[in-house]
């Protein structure tokens, strides 16, 4: 029985070596076949081709002549009011006290922070703050809001928490 197990182990080892060598050789030949494939070549040329061209003065190419004029971009959305910013961004944490954020309207929780000065509160709101119990991301995670919108929201929240 030991001889039979030894013969099986040797045969499985040889089969495994043949399998690995076969996969290696097949990989080499498949790569060469794929590189010479016209469809692969066309995809490669398309991937590395430039995105656009610059039209220089004096160029009269059909592409430059038929190019559509640049349209005026859509206007930027109107700025949010401070209650809107507070409701959409700030109350996610300041509504429930997540990460030790002072709850809006909680005078005791806000008094220590307000005593440090509104400029510091505005700086923390704009640039973020790492406290001992939590983290406030810059602009409350809403980097799409302007600095003026964030500052107005801070003033609104301080006014509601005095």
Task: Give the DSSP per-residue string, 138-162.
Answer: GGGG-TTS-HHHHHHHHHHHHHHT-
Question: According to the model, what pLDDT value does residue 13 have?
Answer: 97
User: Class for domain 82-160, per CATH?
Assistant: mainly alpha
What average pLDDT score do residues 130-158 get?
Answer: 87
**What is the C-alpha separation between 157 and 69, in angstroms, rounded?**
46
Question: According to the model, what pLDDT value does residue 34 have?
Answer: 75
pTM of the model: 0.54
Q: Which residues contact 34 (CB under 8 A, 6 or more apart)?
A: 40
Task: Enter the tokens of residue 159.
Answer: 């006014």
Question: According to the model, what pLDDT value does residue 12 have?
Answer: 96
What average pLDDT score do residues 13-42 get?
Answer: 86
Is the pLDDT reported for residue 66 higher than 60?
no
What average pLDDT score do residues 141-149 get?
Answer: 88
């Amino acid at each position: 029985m030991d001889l039979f197990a030894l013969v099986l182990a040797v045969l499985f080892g040889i089969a495994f070596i043949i399998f690995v060598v076969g996969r290696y050789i097949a990989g080499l030949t498949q790569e060469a076949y794929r590189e010479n494939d016209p469809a692969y070549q066309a995809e490669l040329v398309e991937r590395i081709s430039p995105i656009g061209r610059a039209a220089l003065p004096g160029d009269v190419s059909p592409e430059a002549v038929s190019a559509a004029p640049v349209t005026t971009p859509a206007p930027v959305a109107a700025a949010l009011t401070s209650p809107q910013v507070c409701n959409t961004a700030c109350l996610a944490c300041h509504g429930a006290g997540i990460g030790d954020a002072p709850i809006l309207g909680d005078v005791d929780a806000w008094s220590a922070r307000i005593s440090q000065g509104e400029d510091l509160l505005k700086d923390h709101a704009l640039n973020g703050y790492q406290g001992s119990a939590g983290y406030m991301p810059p602009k409350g995670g809403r980097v799409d809001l302007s600095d003026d919108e964030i500052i107005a929201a801070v003033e609104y929240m301080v006014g509601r928490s005095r």
